[in-house]
Structure 1
Amino acid sequence: MSCITECAPGPHAFLIVLKVDRFTEHEQAVITKILQYFSEDALKYAVVVFTHGEDLTGGKTIQEFVSKNKNLSDLVKKCGGRCHVFDNKHWNKQQNNYRSNQFQVEDLLNTVDKMVMKNNGGYYTNMVLQEVEEEIKKEEEQIKQSSEKMPQEVIRQQAKANDRFLIQMTGFATGALLGAFLGVPAMIRSTYTTMRTSTELIRLLKYIPAVGMTAAAVVGGGEVAIIAAGALAGVAPAARAGGTVGQDAAKAADTAWGAAKMAAKAVINNTRRTT
Protein backbone atom coordinates (compact mmCIF):
# COMPACT_ATOMS: atom_id res chain seq x y z
CA MET A 1 0.00 0.00 0.00
CA SER A 2 2.94 2.32 0.56
CA CYS A 3 3.95 1.67 -3.06
CA ILE A 4 0.45 2.48 -4.32
CA THR A 5 -0.06 5.60 -2.23
CA GLU A 6 3.31 7.03 -3.26
CA CYS A 7 2.56 6.81 -6.99
CA ALA A 8 -1.20 7.55 -6.91
CA PRO A 9 -2.94 8.60 -9.07
CA GLY A 10 -0.34 6.97 -11.32
CA PRO A 11 3.31 7.03 -12.50
CA HIS A 12 4.40 9.06 -15.52
CA ALA A 13 7.15 6.62 -16.44
CA PHE A 14 8.17 2.98 -16.03
CA LEU A 15 11.81 1.94 -16.45
CA ILE A 16 12.17 -1.70 -17.54
CA VAL A 17 15.75 -2.54 -16.51
CA LEU A 18 17.59 -5.41 -18.22
CA LYS A 19 21.22 -6.48 -18.45
CA VAL A 20 23.17 -6.54 -21.69
CA ASP A 21 23.29 -10.31 -22.03
CA ARG A 22 21.41 -13.14 -23.68
CA PHE A 23 17.66 -12.47 -23.60
CA THR A 24 16.55 -15.82 -22.22
CA GLU A 25 13.22 -17.36 -21.22
CA HIS A 26 13.75 -15.95 -17.73
CA GLU A 27 13.92 -12.36 -18.99
CA GLN A 28 10.95 -12.96 -21.27
CA ALA A 29 8.98 -14.29 -18.27
CA VAL A 30 9.67 -11.04 -16.42
CA ILE A 31 8.32 -9.03 -19.35
CA THR A 32 5.26 -11.31 -19.56
CA LYS A 33 4.56 -10.66 -15.87
CA ILE A 34 4.84 -6.91 -16.38
CA LEU A 35 2.23 -7.11 -19.12
CA GLN A 36 0.01 -9.29 -16.91
CA TYR A 37 0.33 -6.85 -14.02
CA PHE A 38 -0.18 -3.62 -15.94
CA SER A 39 -1.43 -4.57 -19.46
CA GLU A 40 0.28 -3.33 -22.63
CA ASP A 41 -1.07 0.17 -21.96
CA ALA A 42 1.79 0.61 -19.47
CA LEU A 43 4.31 0.33 -22.32
CA LYS A 44 3.10 3.70 -23.60
CA TYR A 45 4.82 5.06 -20.48
CA ALA A 46 7.85 2.77 -20.50
CA VAL A 47 11.53 3.01 -21.40
CA VAL A 48 13.80 -0.05 -21.71
CA VAL A 49 17.09 0.55 -19.87
CA PHE A 50 20.07 -1.79 -20.19
CA THR A 51 22.93 -2.03 -17.70
CA HIS A 52 26.48 -3.37 -18.28
CA GLY A 53 26.85 -1.46 -21.53
CA GLU A 54 30.60 -2.10 -21.40
CA ASP A 55 29.81 -5.65 -22.53
CA LEU A 56 28.86 -4.28 -25.94
CA THR A 57 32.06 -5.08 -27.79
CA GLY A 58 33.36 -3.95 -31.15
CA GLY A 59 31.62 -0.59 -31.02
CA LYS A 60 28.17 -2.23 -31.10
CA THR A 61 25.28 0.05 -30.12
CA ILE A 62 22.36 -1.01 -27.95
CA GLN A 63 20.07 -0.71 -30.98
CA GLU A 64 22.19 -3.27 -32.83
CA PHE A 65 22.12 -5.58 -29.80
CA VAL A 66 18.31 -5.33 -29.56
CA SER A 67 17.80 -6.04 -33.26
CA LYS A 68 19.43 -9.48 -32.89
CA ASN A 69 16.57 -10.80 -30.73
CA LYS A 70 12.96 -10.79 -31.96
CA ASN A 71 11.33 -10.77 -28.49
CA LEU A 72 13.56 -7.96 -27.33
CA SER A 73 13.02 -6.04 -30.54
CA ASP A 74 9.24 -6.43 -30.20
CA LEU A 75 9.37 -5.13 -26.62
CA VAL A 76 11.31 -2.02 -27.59
CA LYS A 77 8.91 -1.38 -30.46
CA LYS A 78 5.94 -1.59 -28.07
CA CYS A 79 7.77 0.97 -25.91
CA GLY A 80 7.85 3.38 -28.83
CA GLY A 81 11.48 2.58 -29.67
CA ARG A 82 12.62 4.04 -26.33
CA CYS A 83 15.82 2.23 -25.39
CA HIS A 84 18.94 3.29 -23.45
CA VAL A 85 22.11 1.73 -22.11
CA PHE A 86 24.34 2.47 -19.10
CA ASP A 87 27.96 1.48 -18.64
CA ASN A 88 28.76 0.08 -15.20
CA LYS A 89 32.48 0.94 -15.46
CA HIS A 90 32.74 4.20 -17.40
CA TRP A 91 31.52 6.65 -14.76
CA ASN A 92 33.64 9.58 -15.91
CA LYS A 93 33.22 11.54 -19.11
CA GLN A 94 34.78 9.64 -22.00
CA GLN A 95 36.02 10.81 -25.36
CA ASN A 96 33.09 8.90 -26.86
CA ASN A 97 29.93 10.41 -25.37
CA TYR A 98 27.99 7.23 -26.04
CA ARG A 99 30.08 5.45 -23.34
CA SER A 100 29.85 8.29 -20.80
CA ASN A 101 27.46 8.03 -17.86
CA GLN A 102 27.03 11.79 -17.87
CA PHE A 103 25.78 11.60 -21.45
CA GLN A 104 23.74 8.46 -20.77
CA VAL A 105 21.86 10.00 -17.83
CA GLU A 106 21.05 13.16 -19.75
CA ASP A 107 19.93 11.12 -22.75
CA LEU A 108 17.57 9.00 -20.62
CA LEU A 109 16.04 12.03 -18.87
CA ASN A 110 15.49 13.73 -22.24
CA THR A 111 13.68 10.62 -23.49
CA VAL A 112 11.44 10.57 -20.39
CA ASP A 113 10.63 14.28 -20.89
CA LYS A 114 9.73 13.68 -24.54
CA MET A 115 7.59 10.66 -23.61
CA VAL A 116 5.65 12.68 -21.02
CA MET A 117 5.07 15.41 -23.60
CA LYS A 118 3.92 12.82 -26.15
CA ASN A 119 1.42 11.52 -23.58
CA ASN A 120 0.24 15.11 -23.02
CA GLY A 121 1.48 15.04 -19.45
CA GLY A 122 -0.72 12.04 -18.69
CA TYR A 123 0.17 9.09 -16.50
CA TYR A 124 -0.60 5.40 -16.27
CA THR A 125 -3.48 4.70 -13.92
CA ASN A 126 -6.12 2.12 -13.06
CA MET A 127 -9.09 1.62 -10.77
CA VAL A 128 -7.10 0.96 -7.61
CA LEU A 129 -4.77 3.93 -8.11
CA GLN A 130 -7.72 6.22 -8.83
CA GLU A 131 -9.58 5.04 -5.74
CA VAL A 132 -6.52 5.59 -3.55
CA GLU A 133 -6.08 9.09 -4.97
CA GLU A 134 -9.69 9.92 -4.08
CA GLU A 135 -9.13 8.73 -0.52
CA ILE A 136 -5.91 10.73 -0.24
CA LYS A 137 -7.79 13.88 -1.25
CA LYS A 138 -10.42 13.19 1.43
CA GLU A 139 -7.65 12.89 4.02
CA GLU A 140 -6.13 16.14 2.74
CA GLU A 141 -9.41 17.99 3.18
CA GLN A 142 -9.69 16.85 6.80
CA ILE A 143 -6.14 17.97 7.55
CA LYS A 144 -6.74 21.35 5.89
CA GLN A 145 -9.69 22.03 8.17
CA SER A 146 -7.46 21.90 11.23
CA SER A 147 -4.24 23.24 9.65
CA GLU A 148 -5.12 25.90 7.12
CA LYS A 149 -1.61 27.40 6.92
CA MET A 150 0.17 24.08 6.34
CA PRO A 151 1.86 23.80 2.88
CA GLN A 152 0.07 21.53 0.41
CA GLU A 153 3.08 19.25 0.07
CA VAL A 154 3.18 18.64 3.83
CA ILE A 155 -0.58 18.06 3.93
CA ARG A 156 -0.31 15.39 1.24
CA GLN A 157 2.55 13.62 3.02
CA GLN A 158 0.59 13.56 6.27
CA ALA A 159 -2.49 12.23 4.47
CA LYS A 160 -0.53 9.33 2.95
CA ALA A 161 1.22 8.51 6.23
CA ASN A 162 -1.96 8.25 8.28
CA ASP A 163 -2.20 4.74 9.78
CA ARG A 164 -5.98 4.63 9.52
CA PHE A 165 -5.77 5.58 5.85
CA LEU A 166 -3.27 2.78 5.11
CA ILE A 167 -5.48 0.25 6.90
CA GLN A 168 -8.54 1.31 4.91
CA MET A 169 -6.66 1.21 1.63
CA THR A 170 -5.25 -2.23 2.40
CA GLY A 171 -8.81 -3.39 2.96
CA PHE A 172 -9.87 -1.86 -0.33
CA ALA A 173 -6.98 -3.35 -2.34
CA THR A 174 -7.46 -6.83 -0.86
CA GLY A 175 -11.18 -6.67 -1.51
CA ALA A 176 -10.69 -5.43 -5.07
CA LEU A 177 -8.31 -8.26 -5.90
CA LEU A 178 -10.51 -10.99 -4.46
CA GLY A 179 -13.70 -9.40 -5.78
CA ALA A 180 -12.35 -9.48 -9.33
CA PHE A 181 -10.94 -12.96 -8.87
CA LEU A 182 -14.18 -14.36 -7.46
CA GLY A 183 -15.99 -12.66 -10.31
CA VAL A 184 -14.50 -15.30 -12.61
CA PRO A 185 -17.20 -18.04 -12.38
CA ALA A 186 -14.92 -20.97 -13.12
CA MET A 187 -12.83 -20.17 -10.04
CA ILE A 188 -15.53 -19.63 -7.43
CA ARG A 189 -16.20 -23.21 -6.28
CA SER A 190 -12.55 -24.22 -5.91
CA THR A 191 -11.82 -21.02 -4.01
CA TYR A 192 -14.36 -21.84 -1.31
CA THR A 193 -12.60 -25.06 -0.37
CA THR A 194 -8.99 -23.88 -0.56
CA MET A 195 -8.99 -20.42 1.02
CA ARG A 196 -9.43 -21.24 4.71
CA THR A 197 -6.34 -19.80 6.38
CA SER A 198 -4.16 -16.73 5.98
CA THR A 199 -1.37 -18.86 4.54
CA GLU A 200 -3.70 -20.24 1.90
CA LEU A 201 -4.89 -16.72 1.13
CA ILE A 202 -1.31 -15.61 0.46
CA ARG A 203 -0.70 -18.65 -1.72
CA LEU A 204 -3.86 -17.99 -3.71
CA LEU A 205 -3.01 -14.33 -4.28
CA LYS A 206 0.32 -15.32 -5.81
CA TYR A 207 -1.53 -17.24 -8.51
CA ILE A 208 -4.04 -14.53 -9.40
CA PRO A 209 -1.98 -13.23 -12.39
CA ALA A 210 -2.38 -16.65 -14.02
CA VAL A 211 -6.11 -15.97 -14.42
CA GLY A 212 -5.70 -12.44 -15.66
CA MET A 213 -5.64 -10.55 -12.37
CA THR A 214 -2.87 -8.44 -10.97
CA ALA A 215 -1.54 -9.11 -7.49
CA ALA A 216 1.62 -9.64 -5.56
CA ALA A 217 1.69 -10.77 -1.95
CA VAL A 218 4.86 -9.79 -0.13
CA VAL A 219 5.23 -11.42 3.28
CA GLY A 220 7.61 -10.10 5.91
CA GLY A 221 7.75 -8.89 9.49
CA GLY A 222 4.38 -10.44 10.25
CA GLU A 223 2.58 -8.22 7.77
CA VAL A 224 1.32 -8.61 4.24
CA ALA A 225 1.41 -5.86 1.66
CA ILE A 226 -1.14 -6.44 -1.06
CA ILE A 227 -0.08 -4.55 -4.17
CA ALA A 228 -2.87 -4.26 -6.72
CA ALA A 229 -2.02 -3.01 -10.17
CA GLY A 230 -5.24 -3.52 -12.19
CA ALA A 231 -8.01 -5.73 -13.40
CA LEU A 232 -9.31 -6.90 -16.76
CA ALA A 233 -12.06 -4.65 -18.10
CA GLY A 234 -14.58 -7.48 -17.90
CA VAL A 235 -14.18 -7.96 -14.15
CA ALA A 236 -13.61 -4.35 -13.11
CA PRO A 237 -17.17 -3.99 -11.64
CA ALA A 238 -16.56 -7.05 -9.45
CA ALA A 239 -13.22 -5.58 -8.37
CA ARG A 240 -14.81 -2.29 -7.35
CA ALA A 241 -17.59 -4.07 -5.47
CA GLY A 242 -15.04 -6.24 -3.68
CA GLY A 243 -13.00 -3.15 -2.84
CA THR A 244 -16.01 -1.51 -1.21
CA VAL A 245 -16.79 -4.62 0.86
CA GLY A 246 -13.14 -4.98 1.87
CA GLN A 247 -12.80 -1.34 2.84
CA ASP A 248 -15.90 -1.48 5.04
CA ALA A 249 -14.66 -4.65 6.75
CA ALA A 250 -11.23 -3.10 7.39
CA LYS A 251 -12.73 -0.35 9.56
CA ALA A 252 -12.50 -2.69 12.55
CA ALA A 253 -8.81 -3.53 11.95
CA ASP A 254 -5.88 -2.20 13.93
CA THR A 255 -3.14 -3.13 11.43
CA ALA A 256 -2.76 -3.48 7.67
CA TRP A 257 -2.31 -7.23 8.06
CA GLY A 258 -5.53 -7.40 10.06
CA ALA A 259 -7.27 -5.32 7.41
CA ALA A 260 -6.17 -7.75 4.69
CA LYS A 261 -7.55 -10.74 6.58
CA MET A 262 -10.85 -9.04 7.47
CA ALA A 263 -11.33 -7.82 3.90
CA ALA A 264 -10.64 -11.27 2.45
CA LYS A 265 -13.10 -12.95 4.83
CA ALA A 266 -15.81 -10.35 4.13
CA VAL A 267 -15.52 -10.65 0.34
CA ILE A 268 -15.60 -14.46 0.44
CA ASN A 269 -18.64 -14.47 2.73
CA ASN A 270 -20.38 -11.89 0.57
CA THR A 271 -19.75 -14.01 -2.53
CA ARG A 272 -21.18 -17.08 -0.82
CA ARG A 273 -24.36 -15.23 0.04
CA THR A 274 -24.87 -13.99 -3.53
CA THR A 275 -24.08 -17.19 -5.47
Structure 2
Amino acid sequence: LFDTHKPPEELRKEFLNCMMMTSPGPHAFLLILKMNRITEQEKKTLHYLKEIFGGDQFLSHTIIVITRKEDFEETALKGTEKANEDIHELFQATLETSPDLHHMVMQCKNRCFLLSNRGRVDGTKRTDQANQLLSLILEMTQANENTFYSYQ
Protein backbone atom coordinates (compact mmCIF):
# COMPACT_ATOMS: atom_id res chain seq x y z
CA LEU A 1 0.00 0.00 0.00
CA PHE A 2 2.68 2.45 0.98
CA ASP A 3 5.38 1.26 -1.40
CA THR A 4 3.87 3.11 -4.32
CA HIS A 5 4.07 6.52 -5.91
CA LYS A 6 0.35 6.68 -6.55
CA PRO A 7 -1.81 9.16 -4.65
CA PRO A 8 -4.36 7.73 -2.17
CA GLU A 9 -7.34 8.50 -4.41
CA GLU A 10 -5.82 6.55 -7.29
CA LEU A 11 -5.13 3.61 -4.96
CA ARG A 12 -8.73 3.75 -3.78
CA LYS A 13 -9.93 3.53 -7.40
CA GLU A 14 -7.67 0.53 -8.03
CA PHE A 15 -9.04 -1.22 -4.93
CA LEU A 16 -12.59 -0.59 -6.06
CA ASN A 17 -11.79 -1.96 -9.53
CA CYS A 18 -10.36 -5.09 -7.91
CA MET A 19 -13.53 -5.44 -5.85
CA MET A 20 -15.65 -5.27 -8.99
CA MET A 21 -13.58 -8.08 -10.51
CA THR A 22 -14.42 -10.32 -7.53
CA SER A 23 -18.14 -9.77 -7.93
CA PRO A 24 -20.25 -10.43 -5.98
CA GLY A 25 -17.37 -9.95 -3.49
CA PRO A 26 -14.48 -11.77 -1.78
CA HIS A 27 -15.01 -14.08 1.17
CA ALA A 28 -11.64 -13.25 2.73
CA PHE A 29 -8.95 -10.61 2.95
CA LEU A 30 -5.44 -11.62 4.04
CA LEU A 31 -3.30 -8.93 5.64
CA ILE A 32 0.32 -10.11 5.43
CA LEU A 33 2.82 -8.90 8.04
CA LYS A 34 6.40 -9.89 8.86
CA MET A 35 6.85 -11.32 12.36
CA ASN A 36 9.74 -9.30 13.71
CA ARG A 37 9.02 -5.98 12.09
CA ILE A 38 5.82 -3.97 12.48
CA THR A 39 6.60 -0.62 10.89
CA GLU A 40 4.68 2.62 11.29
CA GLN A 41 3.31 2.12 7.79
CA GLU A 42 2.10 -1.36 8.65
CA LYS A 43 0.41 0.01 11.75
CA LYS A 44 -1.45 2.46 9.53
CA THR A 45 -2.36 -0.19 6.95
CA LEU A 46 -5.30 -1.69 8.83
CA HIS A 47 -6.71 1.76 9.55
CA TYR A 48 -6.33 2.73 5.89
CA LEU A 49 -7.98 -0.47 4.68
CA LYS A 50 -10.84 0.04 7.12
CA GLU A 51 -11.40 3.51 5.66
CA ILE A 52 -11.47 2.17 2.12
CA PHE A 53 -13.49 -0.97 2.75
CA GLY A 54 -15.78 0.06 5.56
CA GLY A 55 -14.65 -0.85 9.06
CA ASP A 56 -16.33 -3.74 10.84
CA GLN A 57 -17.67 -5.40 7.70
CA PHE A 58 -14.12 -5.48 6.31
CA LEU A 59 -12.64 -6.73 9.59
CA SER A 60 -15.14 -9.57 9.81
CA HIS A 61 -13.64 -10.92 6.57
CA THR A 62 -9.96 -10.36 7.44
CA ILE A 63 -7.23 -12.73 8.64
CA ILE A 64 -3.77 -11.51 9.62
CA VAL A 65 -1.04 -13.74 8.20
CA ILE A 66 2.31 -13.34 9.92
CA THR A 67 5.30 -14.58 7.94
CA ARG A 68 8.68 -15.84 9.13
CA LYS A 69 7.22 -18.08 11.83
CA GLU A 70 10.59 -19.86 11.97
CA ASP A 71 12.30 -16.66 13.19
CA PHE A 72 9.78 -16.42 16.00
CA GLU A 73 10.30 -20.07 16.93
CA GLU A 74 14.07 -19.61 17.10
CA THR A 75 13.83 -16.42 19.17
CA ALA A 76 11.04 -17.57 21.48
CA LEU A 77 12.52 -20.98 22.19
CA LYS A 78 16.19 -19.98 22.31
CA GLY A 79 17.81 -20.85 25.62
CA THR A 80 14.60 -22.17 27.14
CA GLU A 81 13.18 -25.53 27.99
CA LYS A 82 10.01 -24.69 26.08
CA ALA A 83 10.88 -26.78 23.04
CA ASN A 84 7.69 -28.80 23.39
CA GLU A 85 5.49 -25.83 24.25
CA ASP A 86 2.88 -24.98 21.68
CA ILE A 87 4.16 -22.22 19.40
CA HIS A 88 0.71 -20.65 19.33
CA GLU A 89 0.72 -20.30 23.12
CA LEU A 90 4.11 -18.60 22.87
CA PHE A 91 2.76 -16.32 20.17
CA GLN A 92 -0.21 -15.35 22.35
CA ALA A 93 2.23 -14.45 25.13
CA THR A 94 4.24 -12.39 22.62
CA LEU A 95 1.11 -10.49 21.61
CA GLU A 96 0.86 -9.24 25.18
CA THR A 97 4.22 -7.49 24.74
CA SER A 98 3.42 -6.05 21.31
CA PRO A 99 0.44 -3.72 21.77
CA ASP A 100 0.26 -2.65 18.11
CA LEU A 101 0.18 -6.19 16.76
CA HIS A 102 -2.14 -7.30 19.56
CA HIS A 103 -4.58 -4.53 18.68
CA MET A 104 -4.52 -5.48 15.00
CA VAL A 105 -5.21 -9.14 15.79
CA MET A 106 -8.02 -8.20 18.18
CA GLN A 107 -9.67 -6.02 15.52
CA CYS A 108 -9.69 -9.06 13.22
CA LYS A 109 -11.47 -11.14 15.88
CA ASN A 110 -8.27 -12.95 16.86
CA ARG A 111 -7.90 -14.47 13.42
CA CYS A 112 -4.19 -14.83 12.90
CA PHE A 113 -2.11 -17.39 11.03
CA LEU A 114 1.62 -17.97 11.51
CA LEU A 115 3.34 -18.88 8.24
CA SER A 116 6.80 -20.36 7.89
CA ASN A 117 8.77 -19.19 4.86
CA ARG A 118 11.36 -21.96 5.08
CA GLY A 119 11.20 -25.24 3.28
CA ARG A 120 10.89 -26.42 -0.26
CA VAL A 121 8.08 -24.97 -2.30
CA ASP A 122 6.94 -28.47 -3.20
CA GLY A 123 7.40 -29.80 0.32
CA THR A 124 4.69 -31.24 2.54
CA LYS A 125 5.24 -28.42 5.04
CA ARG A 126 4.02 -25.88 2.48
CA THR A 127 1.04 -28.06 1.57
CA ASP A 128 0.15 -28.48 5.25
CA GLN A 129 0.36 -24.74 5.85
CA ALA A 130 -1.79 -24.00 2.81
CA ASN A 131 -4.40 -26.48 4.01
CA GLN A 132 -4.37 -24.97 7.51
CA LEU A 133 -4.83 -21.47 6.12
CA LEU A 134 -7.65 -22.63 3.87
CA SER A 135 -9.30 -24.26 6.91
CA LEU A 136 -9.08 -20.97 8.80
CA ILE A 137 -10.63 -19.15 5.83
CA LEU A 138 -13.41 -21.74 5.71
CA GLU A 139 -14.07 -21.36 9.46
CA MET A 140 -14.26 -17.58 9.07
CA THR A 141 -16.55 -17.89 6.06
CA GLN A 142 -18.87 -20.18 8.01
CA ALA A 143 -18.82 -17.79 10.98
CA ASN A 144 -19.85 -15.07 8.52
CA GLU A 145 -22.76 -17.29 7.43
CA ASN A 146 -21.09 -17.84 4.04
CA THR A 147 -21.60 -14.20 3.10
CA PHE A 148 -19.10 -12.42 0.93
CA TYR A 149 -17.73 -8.97 1.72
CA SER A 150 -19.90 -6.16 0.46
CA TYR A 151 -19.34 -2.46 1.01
CA GLN A 152 -22.84 -1.34 1.95
The alignment's TM-score, normalised by the length of structure 1, stands at 0.40
Match of 2:40 among 18, 25, 50: 25
Deviation at 1:2, TM superposition (A): 4.7
Match of 2:135 among 105, 110, 113: 110
CA distance in structure 2 between the partners assigned to 1:2 and 1:126 by the alignment: 13
2:150 corresponds to: 125
Deviation at 1:35, TM superposition (A): 1.4
CA distance in structure 1 between the partners assigned to 2:96 and 2:131 by the alignment: 24
Deviation at 1:66, TM superposition (A): 3.0
Q: Does 1:39 align with 2:54?
A: yes
Relative to structure 1, the CA distance from residue 2 to residue 26 in structure 2 (aligned partners, 3 Å threshold; closer, same or farther) is closer
* Percent identical residues: 28
The alignment's TM-score, normalised by the length of structure 2, stands at 0.70
Whether the 8 Å contact between 1:84 and 1:104 is mirrored in structure 2 is no
1:178 corresponds to: none
1:66 corresponds to: 95
CA distance in structure 2 between the partners assigned to 1:121 and 1:5 by the alignment: 19
Aligned pair count reads 121
1:5 corresponds to: 20
Relative to structure 1, the CA distance from residue 63 to residue 107 in structure 2 (aligned partners, 3 Å threshold; closer, same or farther) is farther
Whether the 8 Å contact between 2:32 and 2:67 is mirrored in structure 1 is yes
Deviation at 1:82, TM superposition (A): 0.9
CA distance in structure 2 between the partners assigned to 1:4 and 1:31 by the alignment: 17
1:106 aligned counterpart, secondary structure? helix
2:104 corresponds to: 75
Amino acid at match of 1:48: I
Structure 1 gap segments, 5+ residues each:
94-99, 128-275
Relative to structure 1, the CA distance from residue 2 to residue 38 in structure 2 (aligned partners, 3 Å threshold; closer, same or farther) is closer
Deviation at 1:71, TM superposition (A): 1.9
CA distance in structure 2 between the partners assigned to 1:66 and 1:48 by the alignment: 13
CA distance in structure 2 between the partners assigned to 1:81 and 1:20 by the alignment: 16
Match of 1:90 among 119, 123, 127: 119
2:59 aligned counterpart, secondary structure? helix
Deviation at 1:102, TM superposition (A): 2.8
CA distance in structure 2 between the partners assigned to 1:126 and 1:35 by the alignment: 11
Amino acid at match of 1:72: L
CA distance in structure 2 between the partners assigned to 1:66 and 1:39 by the alignment: 26
Q: Which has the higher helix share?
A: 1
- The structure showing larger relative contact order (alpha-carbon pairs under 8 Å, at least 6 residues apart) is 2
Relative to structure 1, the CA distance from residue 64 to residue 102 in structure 2 (aligned partners, 3 Å threshold; closer, same or farther) is farther
CA distance in structure 1 between the partners assigned to 2:44 and 2:129 by the alignment: 27
